[in-house]
Structure 1
Amino acid sequence: MIDEWFGDCLRNHPNIPRPPLPPARFEEEVPQECAEFWFENTTRVLEELSCTPTKCLNCTVSLLKDSVYRWWKTISSVTPRESITWEFFQVEFKKKFISQRFLGQKRKELLELKQGNRTVSEYEREFIRLSQYAKKWVQTEAEMCKCFEEGLNEEIKLLIWILEIRELVALVDRAKKVEELNNERMQAKKEARVSSRPPQHPESASGSRIVAKDSTVKPEARAPVRTYAIRVREEASAPDVIKAVTVQFRP
């Protein structure tokens, strides 16, 4: 748990956000992103408290648990006491729990990040989260704006690239406005297509039923003719009747 000194600092600075406590078992198998999140939040609070390097080290070590604490005890036992500093701890912690492979993967995710189905706001949040891993490649705000612009969808990028905005806040704001205009235009087109469709009148449907009714009546009218013709064939033994019928119905 937190030592008494750290607890006193938090009580004396109620406006400082409390860092998240380590999980019950902060094992080596913990996801590296969680380890980084824990370390960054702890460091941020210590900086807000204006702690000295020695106090930062003591406080952070007091928050370690289980296998992570045993790892630090092993490292510190084979390191000269004068070399155990806050800077030394940070280097060793990142080396152990935040590997270069992890950092390289995050940098790749940033360089390949595209807006896709995200809104501009969602894309911005993901871009900011990943940008911390590419400080060596994205060193200025102008380079960050260029990288952000490259990942935008084409319909937004085409309308803002010519402006050459090199302030990230202004660039994001302009991208959001273009997104709103595009959404409004798409909604207007959708409503126009719906209104341009010809109305369906009920009489057209009744007319189809009438046609169907006529088509069923006609076979009933022809039925007596077929019946009579069959009866005539059955009475083929009566020549006079056949002649009479033939004369009567010959066109």
Structure 2
Amino acid sequence: MASYNPKTYDGKPNPVEFEDWVRSMDKLFDAINCPEKWKVGFAVYYLVGQADLWWETVKERRNNEDFGWTQLKDLMRAKFYPSALKRQKEEEFNQLEQGNRSVMDYAAKFMELSRFAPHLVATEELRMNKFERGLNWELRDRLSTHNCHSYQEMYDKASNAERIIREREAEDVVYKRKWEGTRTTIEIFRKGLISGMQNPLYLQSTIQNPLVPNVVISTIQLKSVGLQIIVAILVGVQVT
């Protein structure tokens, strides 16, 4: 069993660490097909710190015929997972929202806290409803058009919707930068037009129109067609 490198539990009042330790021991017992009569002995070997000191005060109970791994877990929960702390974690889950988290991070937190309020996710429908209520409004709005049949399906659709939203936001940023660059170009021509009134100047230039990619502005005379340049960039008319 030691070759599996089991976790230890130190008795600190952290319900997440405690439940993680219990879950890891359960998985290990299943993996090695551990006989029920050996589980308590194996489990207490991996208690350290305050948890180990506590076990010294109650270990006589293992002599009772009906004392097994299930009873040890109940006894430890009563000691290291008091009802006040349980209510606190339950309320934390009840108030859980996505906020600034990604869907993946929100789902991870959802799974972590849901075990402290199992009655709120006792069925697939309850789990889905609770998960959806915590999502951001934009994702909830997108999911409203889908009829999800499972929690996993809802998670997948929410993740995909989030990906599309982020891709669109990234495209908007690129477009904004291009448009700001075009506005700068317009300003340059405007200033050139003003100076060209005193000093006739011809500029040979080709500018890509970001609104109509196939339209360009070329062979521009600042003094005579400066106003047309601005109009051409905005509406996509080619000026030569």
Q: TM-score, with normalisation over the residues of structure 2?
A: 0.69
Q: Which residue of 2 aligns with 1:166?
A: 149
CA distance in 1, matches of 2:107, 2:121: 15
1:117-156 residue pairs with structure 2 within 5 A?
Answer: 117-156=100-139
Moved more, 79-88 or 166-175: 79-88
Moved more, 112-121 or 181-190: 181-190
SS of residue paired to 1:136: helix
Q: How big is the shift at 1:206?
A: 11
Tell me how large the CA RMSD over aligned residues is. Answer: 2.8
User: Structure 1: where are the runs of 5+ without partners?
Assistant: 1-5, 11-16, 209-251
Q: TM-score, with normalisation over the residues of structure 1?
A: 0.66
CA distance in 1, matches of 2:56, 2:175: 71
Q: How big is the shift at 1:192?
A: 3.0
**Cα distance change of structure 1 residues 178 and 74 upon mapping to structure 2, 3 Å threshold:** same
The amino acid of 1:137's aligned partner reads: L
Q: How big is the shift at 1:95?
A: 0.8
Residue in structure 2 matching 1:49, options 25, 32, 46 = 32
Contact 1:149 1:161 in 2 (8 A): no
- Structure with greater strand share of residues: 2
1:3-18 residue pairs with structure 2 within 5 A?
Answer: 6-7=1-2, 10=3, 17-18=4-5
Contact 2:61 2:67 in 1 (8 A): no
Residue in structure 1 matching 2:7, options 20, 41, 44 = 20
SS of residue paired to 2:144: helix
Q: How big is the shift at 1:121?
A: 1.2
Moved more, 107-116 or 183-192: 183-192
Moved more, 144-153 or 128-137: 128-137
Contact 2:8 2:48 in 1 (8 A): no
Q: Which residue of 1 aligns with 2:83?
A: 100
Q: Which residue of 1 aligns with 2:92?
A: 109
Question: Alpha-carbon deviations, 1:190-236, whole Å to 9, x = none?
Answer: 3333333312418838979xxxxxxxxxxxxxxxxxxxxxxxxxxxx
Q: Percent identity, aligned pairs only?
A: 22
The amino acid of 1:157's aligned partner reads: R
Q: Which residue of 2 aligns with 1:224?
A: none
| In the alignment, structure 1 residue 62 sits paired with structure 2 residue 45 | yes
Q: Which residue of 2 aligns with 1:212?
A: none
**Cα distance change of structure 1 residues 62 and 193 upon mapping to structure 2, 3 Å threshold:** closer
Residue in structure 1 matching 2:19, options 36, 39, 51 = 36
The amino acid of 1:116's aligned partner reads: G
Question: Alpha-carbon deviations, 1:82-139, whole Å to 9, x = none?
Answer: 3432222111011111222222222222221111111111111111111222211211
Higher RCO (Cα < 8 Å, 6 or more apart): 1
Structure showing greater radius of gyration is 1
SS of residue paired to 1:126: helix
SS of residue paired to 2:171: helix
**Cα distance change of structure 1 residues 93 and 177 upon mapping to structure 2, 3 Å threshold:** same
